[in-house]
Amino acid sequence: MRREKQLLDNALEAWTSLDEFRRRRRRCKDFTFGRQWSDRHRLSDGRVVSEEAGWLDRGRVPLCNNLIRQLVKSIVGRWRHLQRDEKVGVATDIDARTFEEFLISGCAIQRVERGKISPVGPARVFFRRFERSDGDDCSFVGMLHDMRPAEVLRRFSAGDAVRFGEIHALYQGAASENSSLRLNASASPCCGAESDFFHAMSPGMWRVIEVWRRGCTPVLRIHDPERGAYATGDYDEETLRRIGEMNARRRKRGGKELRWYPDLDDGWEYFWLAPGGEVLAYGKGENHPFVMALYPMVDGEVRSLVDDVIDQQKYVNNLVMLLDDVLRASAKGIVLFPTDQLPRGMTWNDVRRIWAQPGGILPFRRTSKNIMPYQLNTSGTVSGATEMLQTQLKLFDEISGTNASSRGSGSTAKGAEMMARELEQATVSVYDLLSTFRGFTERRDEMLRGNSRSATD
Protein backbone atom coordinates (compact mmCIF):
# COMPACT_ATOMS: atom_id res chain seq x y z
CA MET A 1 0.00 0.00 0.00
CA ARG A 2 1.34 3.44 -0.96
CA ARG A 3 2.68 5.44 1.98
CA GLU A 4 2.93 9.26 2.19
CA LYS A 5 5.20 9.73 5.22
CA GLN A 6 6.23 13.29 4.29
CA LEU A 7 2.61 14.36 3.85
CA LEU A 8 1.75 12.86 7.25
CA ASP A 9 4.64 14.78 8.83
CA ASN A 10 3.39 17.99 7.21
CA ALA A 11 -0.09 17.37 8.60
CA LEU A 12 1.31 16.69 12.07
CA GLU A 13 3.35 19.90 11.86
CA ALA A 14 0.23 21.89 10.94
CA TRP A 15 -1.67 20.23 13.80
CA THR A 16 1.09 21.01 16.33
CA SER A 17 1.26 24.65 15.22
CA LEU A 18 -2.33 25.09 16.45
CA ASP A 19 -1.61 23.84 19.99
CA GLU A 20 -1.81 27.35 21.45
CA PHE A 21 -5.11 28.04 19.65
CA ARG A 22 -6.61 24.81 21.01
CA ARG A 23 -5.39 25.64 24.51
CA ARG A 24 -7.07 29.07 24.41
CA ARG A 25 -10.22 27.54 22.98
CA ARG A 26 -10.38 24.99 25.84
CA ARG A 27 -9.99 27.81 28.36
CA CYS A 28 -12.73 29.89 26.71
CA LYS A 29 -14.99 26.84 26.56
CA ASP A 30 -14.37 26.09 30.24
CA PHE A 31 -15.27 29.64 31.24
CA THR A 32 -18.38 29.59 29.05
CA PHE A 33 -19.76 26.46 30.67
CA GLY A 34 -18.93 27.31 34.27
CA ARG A 35 -15.51 25.73 34.82
CA GLN A 36 -13.98 29.07 35.79
CA TRP A 37 -11.45 28.13 38.48
CA SER A 38 -9.10 25.99 36.39
CA ASP A 39 -6.32 28.57 35.84
CA ARG A 40 -3.15 27.55 37.65
CA HIS A 41 -1.34 29.76 40.18
CA ARG A 42 1.41 29.49 42.77
CA LEU A 43 0.57 29.18 46.46
CA SER A 44 2.59 30.79 49.25
CA ASP A 45 4.27 27.44 49.93
CA GLY A 46 5.51 27.21 46.34
CA ARG A 47 3.01 24.65 45.03
CA VAL A 48 1.47 25.29 41.61
CA VAL A 49 -2.16 24.21 41.61
CA SER A 50 -5.45 25.21 39.99
CA GLU A 51 -7.38 28.05 41.59
CA GLU A 52 -10.09 25.56 42.50
CA ALA A 53 -7.57 23.32 44.28
CA GLY A 54 -6.22 26.37 46.11
CA TRP A 55 -9.65 27.25 47.49
CA LEU A 56 -10.39 23.64 48.39
CA ASP A 57 -7.06 23.44 50.17
CA ARG A 58 -8.26 26.29 52.39
CA GLY A 59 -11.49 24.49 53.08
CA ARG A 60 -13.59 26.61 50.73
CA VAL A 61 -15.75 25.68 47.75
CA PRO A 62 -15.19 28.27 44.98
CA LEU A 63 -18.32 30.04 43.79
CA CYS A 64 -19.06 30.96 40.19
CA ASN A 65 -21.38 33.69 38.94
CA ASN A 66 -21.38 32.74 35.24
CA LEU A 67 -22.00 35.90 33.23
CA ILE A 68 -20.29 34.57 30.09
CA ARG A 69 -22.83 31.82 29.45
CA GLN A 70 -25.71 34.29 29.61
CA LEU A 71 -23.78 36.64 27.30
CA VAL A 72 -23.26 33.91 24.68
CA LYS A 73 -26.88 32.73 24.89
CA SER A 74 -28.22 36.28 24.52
CA ILE A 75 -26.12 37.01 21.39
CA VAL A 76 -27.06 33.67 19.81
CA GLY A 77 -30.70 34.45 20.57
CA ARG A 78 -30.32 37.93 19.09
CA TRP A 79 -28.83 36.40 15.93
CA ARG A 80 -31.79 34.03 15.60
CA HIS A 81 -34.16 36.96 16.09
CA LEU A 82 -32.46 38.97 13.34
CA GLN A 83 -32.58 35.98 11.01
CA ARG A 84 -36.32 35.85 11.50
CA ASP A 85 -36.83 39.60 11.03
CA GLU A 86 -34.72 39.70 7.88
CA LYS A 87 -36.80 36.84 6.44
CA VAL A 88 -33.75 34.93 5.29
CA GLY A 89 -35.13 31.65 6.53
CA VAL A 90 -35.28 29.99 9.90
CA ALA A 91 -31.80 29.55 11.35
CA THR A 92 -30.85 25.93 11.53
CA ASP A 93 -29.56 24.31 14.68
CA ILE A 94 -26.27 23.65 12.88
CA ASP A 95 -25.77 27.36 12.20
CA ALA A 96 -26.78 28.28 15.75
CA ARG A 97 -24.27 25.89 17.27
CA THR A 98 -21.59 27.03 14.81
CA PHE A 99 -22.29 30.65 15.78
CA GLU A 100 -22.00 29.68 19.45
CA GLU A 101 -18.61 28.14 18.69
CA PHE A 102 -17.70 31.33 16.81
CA LEU A 103 -18.37 33.41 19.93
CA ILE A 104 -16.43 31.02 22.17
CA SER A 105 -13.33 30.34 20.07
CA GLY A 106 -13.50 32.92 17.27
CA CYS A 107 -13.50 30.09 14.74
CA ALA A 108 -16.44 28.85 12.64
CA ILE A 109 -15.96 25.82 10.39
CA GLN A 110 -18.44 23.73 8.42
CA ARG A 111 -18.00 21.03 5.83
CA VAL A 112 -20.00 20.94 2.60
CA GLU A 113 -20.02 17.63 0.78
CA ARG A 114 -22.56 15.93 -1.46
CA GLY A 115 -25.05 18.74 -0.90
CA LYS A 116 -24.99 18.34 2.90
CA ILE A 117 -23.71 20.58 5.70
CA SER A 118 -21.80 19.17 8.66
CA PRO A 119 -20.47 21.16 11.64
CA VAL A 120 -16.75 20.74 12.29
CA GLY A 121 -15.18 21.20 15.70
CA PRO A 122 -12.02 23.38 15.62
CA ALA A 123 -10.31 20.77 17.81
CA ARG A 124 -10.29 18.36 14.83
CA VAL A 125 -9.09 20.72 12.08
CA PHE A 126 -5.53 21.62 11.13
CA PHE A 127 -4.15 23.99 8.53
CA ARG A 128 -1.07 25.93 7.63
CA ARG A 129 -0.92 29.63 8.29
CA PHE A 130 -2.86 31.91 5.98
CA GLU A 131 -3.61 35.64 5.99
CA ARG A 132 -7.29 36.04 5.06
CA SER A 133 -9.86 35.49 7.78
CA ASP A 134 -12.09 33.50 5.42
CA GLY A 135 -9.25 31.09 4.57
CA ASP A 136 -9.45 31.89 0.85
CA ASP A 137 -5.63 31.85 0.60
CA CYS A 138 -5.32 28.55 2.47
CA SER A 139 -3.17 25.96 0.68
CA PHE A 140 -3.07 23.11 3.21
CA VAL A 141 -6.02 21.99 5.34
CA GLY A 142 -7.25 18.77 6.85
CA MET A 143 -9.40 17.12 9.45
CA LEU A 144 -9.22 14.20 11.89
CA HIS A 145 -12.02 11.64 11.57
CA ASP A 146 -13.15 8.89 13.92
CA MET A 147 -14.95 6.27 11.82
CA ARG A 148 -16.55 2.93 12.52
CA PRO A 149 -14.44 0.00 11.27
CA ALA A 150 -17.21 -1.13 8.92
CA GLU A 151 -17.39 2.34 7.37
CA VAL A 152 -13.62 2.46 6.81
CA LEU A 153 -13.50 -0.99 5.25
CA ARG A 154 -16.52 -0.44 3.03
CA ARG A 155 -15.54 3.05 1.90
CA PHE A 156 -11.87 2.54 1.14
CA SER A 157 -11.78 -1.06 -0.05
CA ALA A 158 -14.35 -0.41 -2.81
CA GLY A 159 -15.38 -4.06 -2.75
CA ASP A 160 -11.82 -5.32 -3.40
CA ALA A 161 -11.19 -8.35 -1.16
CA VAL A 162 -7.41 -7.93 -1.23
CA ARG A 163 -7.58 -4.26 -0.25
CA PHE A 164 -10.18 -5.13 2.38
CA GLY A 165 -7.67 -7.48 4.01
CA GLU A 166 -4.84 -4.93 3.77
CA ILE A 167 -6.85 -2.20 5.50
CA HIS A 168 -8.09 -4.58 8.19
CA ALA A 169 -4.53 -5.75 8.95
CA LEU A 170 -3.33 -2.16 8.91
CA TYR A 171 -5.72 -1.10 11.66
CA GLN A 172 -5.61 -4.24 13.76
CA GLY A 173 -2.59 -3.22 15.82
CA ALA A 174 -3.62 0.43 15.99
CA ALA A 175 -7.10 -0.51 17.23
CA SER A 176 -5.76 -2.62 20.11
CA GLU A 177 -3.33 0.14 21.09
CA ASN A 178 -6.12 2.71 21.01
CA SER A 179 -8.32 0.49 23.19
CA SER A 180 -5.61 0.25 25.83
CA LEU A 181 -5.24 4.01 25.81
CA ARG A 182 -8.97 4.53 26.26
CA LEU A 183 -9.10 2.27 29.31
CA ASN A 184 -7.17 4.88 31.26
CA ALA A 185 -9.19 7.83 29.95
CA SER A 186 -12.26 9.42 31.48
CA ALA A 187 -15.44 7.59 30.54
CA SER A 188 -17.67 10.62 31.06
CA PRO A 189 -19.90 11.01 27.99
CA CYS A 190 -20.41 14.75 28.52
CA CYS A 191 -16.79 15.85 28.88
CA GLY A 192 -14.82 15.67 25.66
CA ALA A 193 -11.36 14.14 25.91
CA GLU A 194 -8.29 15.95 24.68
CA SER A 195 -7.78 15.56 20.95
CA ASP A 196 -4.97 13.31 19.77
CA PHE A 197 -3.54 13.30 16.26
CA PHE A 198 -2.95 9.57 15.82
CA HIS A 199 -5.60 7.90 17.97
CA ALA A 200 -9.40 7.95 17.81
CA MET A 201 -10.99 9.54 20.86
CA SER A 202 -13.98 7.19 20.96
CA PRO A 203 -13.72 3.48 21.86
CA GLY A 204 -14.11 1.10 18.94
CA MET A 205 -13.44 3.78 16.29
CA TRP A 206 -10.60 4.06 13.79
CA ARG A 207 -8.67 7.24 13.11
CA VAL A 208 -8.58 8.48 9.50
CA ILE A 209 -6.71 11.66 8.54
CA GLU A 210 -8.09 13.74 5.68
CA VAL A 211 -5.62 16.12 3.99
CA TRP A 212 -6.24 18.63 1.20
CA ARG A 213 -3.19 20.14 -0.49
CA ARG A 214 -3.06 22.86 -3.12
CA GLY A 215 -0.14 22.92 -5.49
CA CYS A 216 1.09 23.17 -9.06
CA THR A 217 0.64 20.01 -11.09
CA PRO A 218 2.16 19.57 -14.60
CA VAL A 219 -0.62 19.10 -17.19
CA LEU A 220 -1.09 19.07 -20.94
CA ARG A 221 -3.44 21.53 -22.63
CA ILE A 222 -4.80 19.74 -25.72
CA HIS A 223 -6.68 21.28 -28.66
CA ASP A 224 -8.52 19.15 -31.20
CA PRO A 225 -8.92 21.32 -34.36
CA GLU A 226 -11.21 18.77 -36.03
CA ARG A 227 -13.81 18.91 -33.26
CA GLY A 228 -13.01 22.38 -31.99
CA ALA A 229 -12.63 21.01 -28.47
CA TYR A 230 -10.16 21.62 -25.65
CA ALA A 231 -9.07 19.10 -23.02
CA THR A 232 -6.60 18.78 -20.17
CA GLY A 233 -4.57 15.64 -19.48
CA ASP A 234 -1.81 14.45 -17.20
CA TYR A 235 1.68 15.40 -18.34
CA ASP A 236 3.20 11.91 -18.42
CA GLU A 237 4.66 9.44 -20.87
CA GLU A 238 1.40 7.55 -21.29
CA THR A 239 -0.53 10.67 -22.36
CA LEU A 240 2.21 11.74 -24.78
CA ARG A 241 2.30 8.24 -26.28
CA ARG A 242 -1.47 8.22 -26.90
CA ILE A 243 -1.33 11.69 -28.50
CA GLY A 244 1.46 10.49 -30.77
CA GLU A 245 -0.54 7.44 -31.87
CA MET A 246 -3.65 9.52 -32.62
CA ASN A 247 -1.64 12.06 -34.63
CA ALA A 248 -0.01 9.24 -36.61
CA ARG A 249 -3.44 7.87 -37.59
CA ARG A 250 -4.66 11.34 -38.55
CA ARG A 251 -1.62 11.99 -40.73
CA LYS A 252 -2.35 8.78 -42.65
CA ARG A 253 -5.84 9.89 -43.49
CA GLY A 254 -4.85 13.53 -44.01
CA GLY A 255 -6.63 14.85 -40.92
CA LYS A 256 -5.63 17.68 -38.60
CA GLU A 257 -3.32 16.68 -35.80
CA LEU A 258 -3.88 17.34 -32.07
CA ARG A 259 -2.09 20.37 -30.74
CA TRP A 260 -0.77 20.46 -27.21
CA TYR A 261 1.51 22.39 -24.87
CA PRO A 262 2.67 21.84 -21.28
CA ASP A 263 1.19 23.95 -18.51
CA LEU A 264 0.76 24.06 -14.73
CA ASP A 265 -2.58 23.48 -13.02
CA ASP A 266 -3.03 25.24 -9.66
CA GLY A 267 -5.51 22.78 -8.18
CA TRP A 268 -6.35 20.73 -5.11
CA GLU A 269 -5.61 17.10 -4.38
CA TYR A 270 -6.89 15.14 -1.40
CA PHE A 271 -5.55 12.20 0.58
CA TRP A 272 -7.24 9.98 3.16
CA LEU A 273 -4.48 8.57 5.34
CA ALA A 274 -4.19 5.91 8.00
CA PRO A 275 -2.29 6.94 11.17
CA GLY A 276 0.88 5.41 9.70
CA GLY A 277 0.68 7.49 6.50
CA GLU A 278 -0.76 4.75 4.26
CA VAL A 279 -2.97 6.20 1.53
CA LEU A 280 -6.54 4.92 1.80
CA ALA A 281 -7.84 7.14 -1.01
CA TYR A 282 -6.52 9.82 -3.35
CA GLY A 283 -8.07 12.21 -5.84
CA LYS A 284 -8.32 15.75 -7.17
CA GLY A 285 -10.94 18.44 -6.72
CA GLU A 286 -11.69 22.03 -7.61
CA ASN A 287 -11.65 23.12 -3.96
CA HIS A 288 -11.55 21.70 -0.45
CA PRO A 289 -14.93 21.09 1.26
CA PHE A 290 -14.36 23.36 4.28
CA VAL A 291 -15.76 26.85 4.75
CA MET A 292 -14.09 28.86 7.52
CA ALA A 293 -14.28 32.16 9.35
CA LEU A 294 -11.67 33.28 11.89
CA TYR A 295 -12.25 36.40 13.99
CA PRO A 296 -10.63 38.87 14.11
CA MET A 297 -7.48 37.27 12.57
CA VAL A 298 -4.90 39.96 13.39
CA ASP A 299 -1.34 38.88 12.57
CA GLY A 300 -2.48 35.28 12.56
CA GLU A 301 -4.01 35.48 16.06
CA VAL A 302 -7.66 34.81 16.83
CA ARG A 303 -9.27 36.45 19.87
CA SER A 304 -12.88 35.58 20.52
CA LEU A 305 -15.61 37.52 22.31
CA VAL A 306 -15.33 35.18 25.31
CA ASP A 307 -11.58 35.72 25.43
CA ASP A 308 -12.20 39.47 25.82
CA VAL A 309 -14.32 39.14 28.96
CA ILE A 310 -12.54 36.33 30.83
CA ASP A 311 -10.52 38.71 33.03
CA GLN A 312 -13.67 40.58 34.08
CA GLN A 313 -15.40 37.26 34.83
CA LYS A 314 -12.47 36.21 37.04
CA TYR A 315 -12.58 39.52 38.92
CA VAL A 316 -16.32 39.21 39.48
CA ASN A 317 -15.85 35.67 40.83
CA ASN A 318 -13.16 36.83 43.24
CA LEU A 319 -15.35 39.67 44.48
CA VAL A 320 -18.20 37.22 45.04
CA MET A 321 -15.84 35.05 47.07
CA LEU A 322 -14.78 38.11 49.07
CA LEU A 323 -18.39 38.97 49.85
CA ASP A 324 -19.02 35.36 50.77
CA ASP A 325 -16.05 35.51 53.12
CA VAL A 326 -17.52 38.55 54.83
CA LEU A 327 -20.95 36.98 55.27
CA ARG A 328 -19.68 33.53 56.07
CA ALA A 329 -16.93 34.30 58.54
CA SER A 330 -18.19 37.68 59.83
CA ALA A 331 -15.05 39.39 58.64
CA LYS A 332 -12.78 37.63 61.13
CA GLY A 333 -9.25 38.92 61.18
CA ILE A 334 -6.00 37.53 62.55
CA VAL A 335 -6.33 35.88 65.96
CA LEU A 336 -3.67 36.41 68.64
CA PHE A 337 -3.54 33.05 70.40
CA PRO A 338 -1.10 32.40 73.28
CA THR A 339 0.95 29.30 72.61
CA ASP A 340 0.51 28.06 76.17
CA GLN A 341 -3.29 28.19 75.83
CA LEU A 342 -3.55 25.56 73.07
CA PRO A 343 -6.16 23.06 74.32
CA ARG A 344 -4.83 19.64 75.13
CA GLY A 345 -5.21 17.14 72.28
CA MET A 346 -5.68 19.84 69.61
CA THR A 347 -3.35 21.07 66.90
CA TRP A 348 -3.06 24.53 65.41
CA ASN A 349 -4.81 23.24 62.28
CA ASP A 350 -7.74 22.17 64.44
CA VAL A 351 -7.94 25.65 65.96
CA ARG A 352 -7.72 27.30 62.54
CA ARG A 353 -10.49 25.09 61.17
CA ILE A 354 -12.83 25.72 64.10
CA TRP A 355 -12.16 29.46 64.07
CA ALA A 356 -12.92 29.72 60.33
CA GLN A 357 -16.30 28.02 60.66
CA PRO A 358 -19.30 30.06 61.82
CA GLY A 359 -20.87 28.41 64.85
CA GLY A 360 -17.66 26.55 65.77
CA ILE A 361 -16.90 25.46 69.33
CA LEU A 362 -13.36 25.99 70.64
CA PRO A 363 -12.69 24.18 73.93
CA PHE A 364 -10.39 25.83 76.46
CA ARG A 365 -9.28 25.16 80.04
CA ARG A 366 -10.82 27.71 82.37
CA THR A 367 -8.88 29.21 85.33
CA SER A 368 -11.95 29.95 87.42
CA LYS A 369 -15.27 28.23 88.04
CA ASN A 370 -17.02 31.57 87.43
CA ILE A 371 -16.16 31.40 83.70
CA MET A 372 -19.10 29.91 81.80
CA PRO A 373 -19.47 29.03 78.09
CA TYR A 374 -20.32 32.13 76.12
CA GLN A 375 -20.89 33.12 72.48
CA LEU A 376 -18.82 35.61 70.49
CA ASN A 377 -20.64 37.76 67.93
CA THR A 378 -18.97 40.12 65.47
CA SER A 379 -20.52 42.36 62.84
CA GLY A 380 -19.17 41.92 59.32
CA THR A 381 -18.71 44.80 56.90
CA VAL A 382 -18.34 44.68 53.15
CA SER A 383 -16.16 47.82 53.10
CA GLY A 384 -17.31 48.88 49.63
CA ALA A 385 -17.05 45.44 48.08
CA THR A 386 -20.66 45.52 46.84
CA GLU A 387 -20.05 48.85 45.05
CA MET A 388 -16.92 47.38 43.50
CA LEU A 389 -18.91 44.35 42.33
CA GLN A 390 -21.48 46.62 40.67
CA THR A 391 -18.66 48.50 38.94
CA GLN A 392 -17.21 45.25 37.62
CA LEU A 393 -20.62 44.16 36.29
CA LYS A 394 -20.91 47.46 34.42
CA LEU A 395 -17.39 47.01 33.02
CA PHE A 396 -18.39 43.52 31.88
CA ASP A 397 -21.21 45.08 29.84
CA GLU A 398 -18.86 47.70 28.39
CA ILE A 399 -16.23 45.17 27.34
CA SER A 400 -18.71 42.66 25.91
CA GLY A 401 -20.67 45.34 24.06
CA THR A 402 -24.02 44.27 25.50
CA ASN A 403 -26.43 45.67 28.05
CA ALA A 404 -29.12 44.37 30.38
CA SER A 405 -31.94 44.69 27.85
CA SER A 406 -30.07 42.73 25.18
CA ARG A 407 -29.47 39.91 27.67
CA GLY A 408 -33.12 39.74 28.69
CA SER A 409 -32.35 41.17 32.14
CA GLY A 410 -33.85 44.14 33.90
CA SER A 411 -33.43 47.46 32.10
CA THR A 412 -33.56 51.06 33.28
CA ALA A 413 -35.13 52.16 30.00
CA LYS A 414 -38.46 53.97 30.32
CA GLY A 415 -40.84 53.46 27.47
CA ALA A 416 -40.76 51.41 24.29
CA GLU A 417 -38.68 53.98 22.42
CA MET A 418 -35.84 53.95 24.92
CA MET A 419 -35.96 50.15 25.09
CA ALA A 420 -35.71 49.95 21.31
CA ARG A 421 -32.76 52.35 21.39
CA GLU A 422 -30.96 50.25 23.98
CA LEU A 423 -31.45 47.12 21.88
CA GLU A 424 -30.22 48.94 18.79
CA GLN A 425 -27.09 50.12 20.61
CA ALA A 426 -26.39 46.60 21.86
CA THR A 427 -26.85 45.21 18.35
CA VAL A 428 -24.48 47.83 16.88
CA SER A 429 -21.82 46.84 19.43
CA VAL A 430 -21.80 43.24 18.19
CA TYR A 431 -22.66 44.08 14.58
CA ASP A 432 -19.15 43.22 13.40
CA LEU A 433 -19.52 39.73 14.85
CA LEU A 434 -22.95 39.28 13.30
CA SER A 435 -21.80 40.56 9.90
CA THR A 436 -18.72 38.34 9.88
CA PHE A 437 -20.82 35.28 10.57
CA ARG A 438 -23.37 36.38 7.98
CA GLY A 439 -20.56 36.45 5.40
CA PHE A 440 -19.57 32.96 6.53
CA THR A 441 -23.08 31.56 5.94
CA GLU A 442 -23.30 33.29 2.55
CA ARG A 443 -20.05 31.68 1.40
CA ARG A 444 -21.31 28.36 2.75
CA ASP A 445 -24.59 28.67 0.86
CA GLU A 446 -22.73 29.54 -2.35
CA MET A 447 -20.50 26.49 -1.91
CA LEU A 448 -23.57 24.39 -1.17
CA ARG A 449 -25.27 25.48 -4.39
CA GLY A 450 -22.16 24.72 -6.43
CA ASN A 451 -21.77 21.39 -4.66
CA SER A 452 -25.38 20.45 -5.40
CA ARG A 453 -24.99 21.31 -9.10
CA SER A 454 -21.83 19.18 -9.30
CA ALA A 455 -23.63 16.26 -7.70
CA THR A 456 -26.42 16.36 -10.30
CA ASP A 457 -24.12 16.77 -13.34
Task: For residue range 395-423, list pLDDT tens digits in order.
Answer: 777 666 666 555 555 555 555 666 566 66
CA distance 31 to 65: 11
Give yes or no: residues 229 and 330 share one domain: no
Q: Please give the Cα distance from 418 to 427 (Å, whole number).
A: 14
Q: 35 lies in a domain?
A: yes
Same domain, yes or no, for 60 and 95? yes
Residue 128 CA to residue 110 CA, distance in Å, equals 18
Residues 91 and 229 in one domain: no
- 448 plus 306 within the same structural domain: yes
Residues 313 and 411 in one domain: yes
Does 336 reside within a domain?
yes
303 and 340 fall within a common domain: yes
- Indicate whether 156 pLDDT > 70: yes
In this structure, are 62 and 110 located in the same domain? yes
426 pLDDT above the threshold of 80 = no
Residues 296 and 222 in one domain: no
**In the beta sheet, which residues pair with residue 267?**
215
227 shares its domain with 103 = no
| Full domain range(s) for residue 104 | 1-138+288-361+380-457
Residue 244 shares a structural domain with residue 327: no
Which pLDDT tens digit goes with each residue over 47-80?
899 999 988 887 788 888 888 998 999 889 888 8
Whether residue 5 is contained in a domain is answered as: yes
Q: At what angle do helices 93-105 and 305-329 cross, to 10 degrees?
A: 70
pLDDT at position 340 over 50: yes
- Is the whole-model pTM more than 0.85? no
Please tell me whether residues 255 and 309 are part of one structural domain: no
Largest CA distance in the chain: 133
Q: Backbone phi, then psi, for 446, in 5-degree steps?
A: -65, -40
Same domain, 303 and 419: yes
